[in-house]
Amino acid sequence: MVNLSESPTRGGAASASADVESSPAAGPLAGVRVLELGSLIAGPFAGRQLADFGAEVIKIESPSRPDPMREWGRAQVHGHTLWWSVQSRGKKCVTLDLKAARGRELFLQLCREADVLLENFRPGTLENLGLAPEELWKINPGLIIARVSGYGQTGPDAQKPGYASVAEARGGLRYLNGYPDQAPPRTGISLGDSLASLYALQGILLALYWRDAKGGTGQVVDVSLVEACFSLLESAVPDYAAAGIVPGPSGSGLKGIAPSNIFRSSDGKWVVIAANQDSVFVRLAAAMGRPELATDARFGNHTARGANQDELESLIAEWAAGYTDAELTGLLDRHAVPNSPVSSIEDIFADPQLRARGMLVEVPDEELGTVVQPGIVPRLTRSAGGIGWNGPLTPGSHNQAVYGNLLGLSGEELRNAKEEGAI
């Protein structure tokens, strides 16, 4: 495994029980304080990335209803899911009841000290609690409020609940997936949630830059899961507007883009071969031992190959079936033809490229042992971030560090707040 202390991060991971106040700052976002409300994926994934790059992320959970992510995921150790350890890594976890008067008071104090508020509630939730952006800006005009929801904060469907699968369907991604005349399948992940989180991260960074470098103020970053999916439709919008073209699913390849598909090796493995560019197809033809294909009128240029896609891919499939997976990828590599086996997570763990890039990171934990985590993306050469600790296993793990050290509450005040159910 790749050890965290050997990667270009902060030089070592702290356990969840460590004094997080003394953990060394790292990354380009050091000094930025983020309050994370909400649960599961669409908001917290953005919070995780902010923490990876040095932001102080304070995750707020209800004392009676913690984030369900604590129970999501397939692998558990001592009753704790490891996905939680990844999704909440580097975050300080506190409990707070926003429906309690004392809870709202404490929340407003936290907002006064924060740079960013990140939430993925249904639109109107903050407003119903008396915590609308306009109210928060009264105490902190520079507060950036990132709001992730199914349909966005406005529009006729703003109040509808939205999940990743719904957004992928409504935003047009699902229609393009799968094979013609079959039910459109989903990917095996919550793609819509993750896309929205990435846009939330982008919006937060843009808003921080505008505020701090351009003299701006706080603002709302309004992210819709549906719009995040819709934004990836490439040429579909202008093509339909101009010519009424309705693209549909095209199976394992793309119509008119050839060759760029999966082909099966003699040992039953699927391999992607992408040689649709003219110069690359010349190299593929050489690898196949059939250089004449590159000058064949049916395949001599991008347009011709697209028009004769089925015939060309049948030739490649017959050729590829004569080699094992390792033989096929090795031959393609020697001819500089882009290719890859279709990797399972087992294959990824054995991938020397991903290991060399620090994409498998071991983070120690006093209770769970070592948790293997996905590495940090992107890599920054001069201001890299790091993974400070695994997601804290106990809700409210950092109540003392945040309410006591940051807000200055005494031990008695903390006890009273807990007895009142505020934290």
pLDDT at 7 over 50: no
- Longest Cα–Cα distance in the chain: 84
- The answer to whether the beta carbons of residues 120 and 91 sit under 8 Å apart is no
Split at pLDDT 50, 70, 90, the class of 76 is: confident
Q: Which residues participate in catalysis according to the annotation?
A: 193
Split at pLDDT 50, 70, 90, the class of 78 is: confident
Domains and CATH numbers, the chain: 2-232+351-419 (3.40.50.10540), 270-341 (3.30.1540.10)
Split at pLDDT 50, 70, 90, the class of 75 is: confident
Q: pTM of the entire structure?
A: 0.90
3-state secondary structure of 357: coil
> Minimal CA–CA distance to 320: which of 257, 275, 254?
275
- For residue range 389-421, list pLDDT tens digits in order: 999 999 999 999 999 999 999 999 999 999 999
Alpha-carbon span 231 to 387, nearest angstrom: 30
Alpha-carbon span 343 to 96, nearest angstrom: 42
- For residue range 351-394, list pLDDT tens digits in order: 999 999 999 999 999 899 999 999 999 999 999 989 999 999 99
Angle at 92 between CA 390 and CA 84, to 5 degrees: 40
pLDDT at 14 over 60: no
pLDDT above 70 covers a percentage of the chain that reads 94
Average pLDDT over residues 16-30: 55
Alpha-carbon span 147 to 38, nearest angstrom: 10
Instruction: Report pLDDT for 24.
Output: 39
For residue 162, what are its two tokens?
């939205």
Instruction: Report pLDDT for 8.
Output: 30
pLDDT at 147 over 60: yes
- The answer to whether the beta carbons of residues 122 and 151 sit under 8 Å apart is no
Average pLDDT over residues 99-122: 97
CB atoms within 10 A of CB 128: 11
For residue 421, what are its two tokens?
């159910």
Alpha-carbon span 133 to 145, nearest angstrom: 7
Average pLDDT over residues 195-210: 98
How far, in Å, are 18, 252, 263, 333, 410 from residue 299 at the CA level?
A: 63, 20, 18, 22, 76
